[in-house]
Amino acid sequence: MKSTDQIGGNLDVRVDRISQPGVNISLVQLNAKGTEKQHELRLRVQGEPVSGQLALAGSFDRQAERWKGSLSDTRFQTPVGPVALTRSIALDYRNLEQKISIGPHCWTNPNAELCVPETIDAGAADGRG
């Protein structure tokens, strides 16, 4: 495959001030860059009642219709306190089956920890959508 056969690019979006009753977002920043084979996305939100950030990185195999990646550097400030991902989450989306595998992970805040100790498979029941 030639590099010119891959879709790639950069996207930077910034939105200032989103207001709805009970929600006041002062800033949303989305940065995405890369190619099908190697890409990353960063999202940052500042506001009330929730602020936070996340990073997503991965690769897409067009022939197999499969995306593999990870969610990392994820934390939020919420009305119940800070919530953070303790380690990266492995993700594996299989489009032909309409299924995603979500790897083991834990979320923590000062008063609690919620862990998913094993990989979860979610999606279409019969694998055909």
**Interval 39-85: pLDDT, tens:** 999 999 999 999 999 999 999 999 999 999 999 999 999 998 999 99
On average, the pLDDT of the chain sits at 92
Percent of the chain residues topping a pLDDT of 70: 94
Give the pLDDT confidence score for residue 41 in this predicted structure.
98
- Count of domains observed in the chain: 1
- Quick check: 66 and 53 in contact, CB under 8 A? no
User: What's the domain range around 34?
Assistant: 3-123
Q: Could you tell me which of 82, 61, 81, 84 has the C-alpha nearest to residue 71?
A: 84
Q: Report yes or no on 44 lying in a domain.
A: yes
| Any domain includes 129 | no
d(CA 80, CA 74): 16
Q: Is residue 116 part of a domain?
A: yes
